[in-house]
Amino acid sequence: DTEVTQTPKHLVMGMTNKKSLKCEQHMGHRAMYWYKQKAKKPPELMFVYSYEKLSINESVPSRFSPECPNSSLLNLHLHALQPEDSALYLCASSQVGQEGSTDTQYFGPGTRLTVL
Amino acid sequence: KNQVEQSPQSLIILEGKNCTLQCNYTVSPFSNLRWYKQDTGRGPVSLTIMTFSENTKSNGRYTATLDADTKQSSLHITASQLSDSASYICVASGYSTLTFGKGTMLLVSP
């Protein structure tokens, strides 16, 4: 199984709502990532979890809160978002995410988020 | 500052034809160079990964080259198919993060 799954596929939320994005992989990967991708732009790294611990936070606003309950699951909790946060949110995983590693990052299909 | 530049920005070719996409990078320290294919609205899918010691790597009709001296890479697509229509993203990996190019949008026309 080389699949990363993400739910929901689409999400529309108001600026006062609280919602969560979910990501799951069963490849035994110990590194998991959240990316944000705007239209016609490359993905931008948001967070990296390595062995269930947050290892990289790319200065993301606190209205985005990641959580890694176990080695297979990664959540992104959303609260008080702005319309400019509308984007495709991609989850990815890789074997270990070590320095200089050549292990492939496997991406999920993404969640298309619209903030009204 | 780490950067990845891709060219052309977009490309239209006829089905069955070959094409080559270019990538120039300035990432230091450099670990490896990756090419991804991304269909519209979907997550990127890995095509190839090359370390600085590798010059070429193939994956079916896709062949990537790497010149670590000039910091250039190319992705050659042979006998293009309609399903090759997608964005092709070049990614240079340092020791802790990935630097993404803006991608080349390829359209294969019947």
| Nearest CB to A42; choose among B43, B89, B96 | B89
- Rounded CA separation B1/B73 (Å): 19
Question: B14 CA to chain A: closest CA distance, Å?
Answer: 23
Do the Cβ atoms of A109 and B97 come within 8 Å? no
Q: Is the pLDDT of residue B66 over 70?
A: yes
- Rounded CA separation B56/B58 (Å): 7
How far out from the chain centre does Cα B52 lie?
Answer: 15
Do the Cβ atoms of B96 and A88 come within 8 Å? no
pLDDT of residue A22: 98
Give the burial class of B102: count Cβ atoms within 10 A of its Cβ; 0-12 exposed, 13-18 middle, 19 or more buried: middle
pLDDT (tens digit per residue) in A2-38: 689 999 999 999 998 999 999 999 999 999 999 999 9
pLDDT (tens digit per residue) in A43-54: 999 999 989 999
| Nearest CB to A43; choose among B32, B93, B100 | B100
Question: B97 CA to chain A: closest CA distance, Å?
Answer: 9
Helices (H), ranges, chain B:
none
Please report which confidence band the pLDDT of residue A99 belongs to, taking 50, 70 and 90 as the band edges: low
pLDDT of residue B96: 66
Do A106 and A92 contact (CB within 8 A), yes or no?
A: yes
Segment (H or E) for B7: strand B3-7
b/e A13-27 (16+ beta carbons within 10 angstroms → b): beeeeebebbbbbee
pLDDT of residue B107: 97
Q: Is the pLDDT of residue B95 over 90?
A: no
Do the Cβ atoms of B51 and A102 come within 8 Å? yes
pLDDT of residue B88: 97
| Nearest CB to A45; choose among B36, B45, B97 | B97
pLDDT of residue A2: 62
Percentage of residues in chain B with pLDDT exceeding 70?
98
Contacts of A104 in chain B (CB under 8 A): 34, 46, 49
Probe site for chain A from B33, B35, B42 (most A CB atoms < 10 A):
B42
Do the Cβ atoms of A104 and B49 come within 8 Å? yes
CB distance from A41 to chain B under 8 Å?
Answer: yes
